[in-house]
Amino acid sequence: MDCMYARKGGKLEKLLSVENLTVKFGKFQAVQEVNFELHSGEIVGLVGESGSGKSTLGRAVLGLTPFQSGSVKFLGQSLGKLSRKVFLKLRPAMQMVFQNPMGSLDPHQSVGSAIMEVLRVVKHATDEEAFSRMKCGLEEVGLDSGLAHRYPHELSGGQRQRVAIARALAVEPRLLIADEPTSALDGSAQAHILDLLRGLVRNRRIGLLLITHDLSVVKLVADRAGVMHRGRIIETGSVEKIWSAPSHAYTQRLLAAVPQWRR
Ligand SMILES: Nc1ncnc2c1ncn2[C@@H]1O[C@H](COP(=O)(O)OP(=O)(O)O)[C@@H](O)[C@H]1O
Ligand SMILES: [Mg+2]
C-alpha cells in the first residue's frame, strides 16, 4: 500500500481573515474587536491566560459560537453571510482538535472505525477505500496501523491525540484549530505532538491556529503569535520578537510563567 501524504507545492494563500470580531455573552464581551489573518502553511499561536477569550474566539471562527459584530472570512467567503447550505459545504475544511481527545472519541468505537466512519460519511469513501486511507492516516500521524482495532482507553494520551488529529485530517481540512492540544500531556508527549503538527502543516500546507495558555508551546512551533488579554489581542508579531522583546507587561508575565528550563 502506498501512502501519499505530502501535497507538493501549492501556493500559499490567505485562509482566514478575522476583522473586528466581537463576541458577547449578555453584556460581557468575551472577545473584543479582534483582528488577525492566517495563511496556508502557517502556524499562528494564540496565547493568553485562562479566561482571556481564546476558546471563544476559536469557536466563533468555526461558527460554533455566534458573534455580535465583525466578520470571519474563510477562503474569501464571509461565514456570517453564507446560506446554511453553503456553510455546511465549506465547514469540513475547518477542523478542530481539543485538549481532551477522550471527549471527542466514542469509547465504544475502535479508533480505526472512527476514522473510517468519517471517510465514508464526509468523503464518501467505499469501505475498501476507507480502510486503506484509515491505515495511511494512522501512519501519517506516527501510529502503527496495527493500533486500528484498539479502543480509545487502550491508548496513551499522546496516541489518543494522534488519533484525533488523524480523524480531523481524514476530512482533508485546509484549516486546523487546535485548542490546548498538548495541555493534558506530559513533557515528551507534548513535544512529539507539537513536532507532528508542525510537520503536517508543512507537508499538507494547511493553516494551524494553535490556542494555548503556554507561551513556550507557541515558541516551539508557531511562526507568528497574538497575545490575548481580556478578550483583546494586545500584542502581535513574530514569535522571536514576542519571546525576546515582549512589549506588554502582560506578555512579560506570561513569559515569567514559563519554567526556566523551557526558556
Ligand atoms: N457560553 C458562555 N457563556 C457565558 N460566558 C462564557 C461562555 N463561554 C465562555 N465564557 C466566558 O468568556 C470568557 C472567556 O472564556 P474562554 O474563551 O473559554 O477563555 P480561554 O479559552 O482563554 O480560557 C470567560 O470569562 C468565560 O467565563
Ligand atoms: Mg480555553
Could you read off the pLDDT of 23-51 as tens digits, one per residue?
999 999 999 999 999 999 999 999 999 99
Q: What is the pLDDT of residue 259?
A: 84
The predicted model gives 51-78 an average pLDDT of 95
The response to whether residue 50 sits with its C-beta less than 6 Å from ligand 1 reads yes
Near ion ligand 2, which residues have CB within 5 Å?
55
The response to whether residue 66 sits with its C-beta less than 6 Å from ligand 1 reads no
Residues in CB range of 91: below 8 A, 6 or more apart: 62, 63
CA–chain centroid gap for 180, Å, is 9
The response to whether residue 231 sits with its C-beta less than 6 Å from ligand 1 reads no
The predicted model gives 128-155 an average pLDDT of 97
Take atom 14 of ligand 1 and give the residue whose Cα is closest: 53
CATH 3.40.50.300 is the classification of domain 14-103+173-262: yes
Q: What is the pLDDT of residue 6?
A: 57
* Cβ-based burial of 4 (10 A; exposed 0-12, middle 13-18, buried ≥19): exposed
Distance (Å) from CA 139 to ligand 2 centroid: 29
The response to whether residue 53 sits with its C-beta less than 6 Å from ligand 1 reads yes
Residue 5 has pLDDT above 70, yes or no: no
Quote the pTM value: 0.95
Q: What is the pLDDT of residue 103?
A: 83
Query: Which ligand ends up closest to the CA of 48?
Result: 1
